[in-house]
Amino acid sequence: MGSELPTNAAHNEKELLRLVAEGDELAFRQLFENYTPKLKAFFLKMTKETSLARELVQETFLNIWLYRDSLAAVEKPSTYIYRIASNVAIAHFRKEDLQRKLVAAMPDTEPVDERDSHGMLRLKEVQEIIDTAVKQLPPQQQQVFRLSREQGLSRTEIANKLGLAEKTVRNHLSLSLKSIQQFLRENHLLYIPLFFLMSILMKN
């Protein structure tokens, strides 16, 4: 749930971060929509891979959300967000010994302390947690979910494949997402807003 954000003017970014710090999902969604195109371009310049750039954007926002308690004190939202993005990039490139590519690609950003990137939660870790949640779903719900999210089939294709009504498929997908979200919350693993969970699960 979240507060109602103004629709006729750009929301003040510091106020937006304050709302996200309070757990406001609507504010987080607005922040996500505001910065996703810019961050995707930022990562694409470094990686030259669209799917990887998209994954790193998700990882950036995942960490912004999970460490949202610190957002209320942020004075320069854009600088903070790009710093998180830089840390995500460093964490990604460290294993491949490609940090020189990172430095060359972002000369206009503030220097990043490499130690900051050690605490970043990787998207792969979250996907593994989500996979555990998926395994808890009822058999047919799990089958529908995997056909949709892992094989990229449309609701119509799933309905035809399994001999189900399209409405039934839609209901299964909706219930499975809510069940995954509930599993994460009840097991004190992490809580992810539903729209962002769908983004993470979307087939590249």
Q: Is the pLDDT of residue 152 over 90?
A: no
Domains, the chain: 13-120 (1.10.1740.10), 124-201 (1.10.10.10)
Average pLDDT, the chain: 77
Q: Is the pLDDT of residue 98 over 60?
A: no
Tokens of 58: 């998700």
Q: Which residue has the tokens 């996703």?
A: 36
With vertex at residue 172, the alpha carbon angle to CA 171 and CA 178, rounded to the nearest 5 degrees, is: 90
* Helix (H) and strand (E) counts in the chain: 10, 0
Which pLDDT tens digit goes with each residue over 67-83?
888 888 888 899 999 99
Contacts 24+ apart (CB under 8 A), 165-173: 169/144, 172/140, 172/141, 172/144, 172/145, 173/144, 173/145, 173/148
Residues 149 and 189: their CA atoms lie apart, in Å, by: 21
Which pLDDT tens digit goes with each residue over 3-61?
544 443 334 888 999 999 988 888 998 999 999 999 999 999 988 888 888 888 888 88
**CA-wise closest residue to 125 among 59, 177, 202, 180:** 59
For residue 57, how many C-alpha atoms fall within 13 Å in the half-sphere facing its CB?
Answer: 25
